[in-house]
Structure 1
Amino acid sequence: MIKKLTAAVALTIFLSACASNKAPIRQGSLSGSGSIAPIPDASGPRIDANVQRLYPNRKLFVCDGTRVSNKPPTDGNNEVVKYSRLIVVDGPGGNVPLVMAPANNACVTSGFGMRKLGNDPARMHNGIDIFSRPASRVFSGGSGTILEAGMNSGYGLSVLIDHGYGVYTRYAHLDYIEDDIKVGARLVYGHPIGRMGRSGQVTGIHLHYEILTGTYKAGVWGRGLKPRDPFSFPEWVDPRLAMLDQ
């Protein structure tokens, strides 16, 4: 049964117009500048008219040929049955609306939870993997402040965003990050982050997307935060999204 967000949500997000393509930052380089949109005051959820610039897909499918053990449940058409475009994440300090899959025209190559690949032992997978061909641009899943942006041996080129209320998102294995993505920058929902890639410990191009909750400790690349299953959160239903579907 579809669950809906109650009026208790205190964080405003905008589905704002995405900026035009900028000169990308290649791996290892974090210089550059850009205009950063401020976080709007909390006054309840609302959606900007430019939602189509970053439009959460109405449906999400598992990629053809996916055989991982933690593949999310699907119907007969390979459509993910628990997918919601917008979800409500319960952080320790309050609820935060986020997008479940922050890249357009993508499919799922791996779900959340224990995963077994081939003959390797099963290991915990702390997010979901999504893929598109050609590689899709990646967007911020919600408004917030960048805590980390750069190279990590496992995650490759990655970005960690603080959305407030103890809720965070990570975007890993990027090919590049945009020139205004740097630590301390404030973003609105839908701000371009970079493009899915294959940096770090990875076998193919995709975006590894994590939703995390807890208390952040600087300098440890988000270790200590609790990974959460994106498919476990209730849906946020906004009538203005329904109007755009017609």
Structure 2
Amino acid sequence: MEGVKHIIAVASGKGGVGKSTVTVNLALALSAQGYRVGVLDADIYGPSQAQMLGVAEGTRPKTQGDKAFYPLEAHGIQAMSMAFLVNTREPMVWRGPMVVGAFQQLLNQTLWDNLDFLLIDMPPGTGDIQLTLSQKVPVSGAVIVTTPQDIALLDARKGIEMFRKVNVPVLGVVENMSLYHCENCGHEAPIFGAGGGDSIAEEYDTTVLGRLPLSLSIREFADSGQPSVVSEPDSAVSQTFASMARQVAGSMDQAPGKGPTISFSD
């Protein structure tokens, strides 16, 4: 894509595992390390990056003629989302082809400005948008977000298998909500289970990029438009995202530089 060096898909097999929170914090961690970073919110039905980046409701991007948008900027990164184009209080009652068309417009008509990394916050599942992305642009790699819970791991496997089918390398797994951390007494408990990230990484010959706790502050910072990496840059959570960013950036030095080819078989 013009204006973009590397495209990273951040995906999950199911919703509710913290994929959008991981996307925005990973983008901010890459930016803090000196990279030019953008975020594309590909969740057409439920865009959340506008709120997480602190973009005021009703803010609209500038346009170039009738066919291109300039991304908005927040916390030093470029961003584009369906939330910038519609009233987010109204549901998107669209069929699949309309959703894919909207995604293609966001993808192809945004004038990204010399990005090192474009992180795409994917919708949950393995459907139309995932296939469209794989067909239309050379995706450098995918980051899979899951929780240790067995049910979430079942869906994470589907996400990994999908990217493998379209020849997109899986850069690693992020295990979110790995431990519950009580901010009053300090007690920690693996309420969603333990070892899930390690098992799926071993099964698919990839790595666990990082483990994040189930923490009240992560949720509060994201909801307020000041994600953890911005609000508490020296915290343990932010340092985990910094480590994840270094691993993702480092993996691009080893990437073959070849776009995916669609190939399915029984």
Structure with the higher helix share, 1 or 2: 2
Could you say which TM-score interval applies, normalised by the shorter chain?
Answer: under 0.3
**TM-score, normalization by structure 1:** 0.27
**TM-score, normalization by structure 2:** 0.25
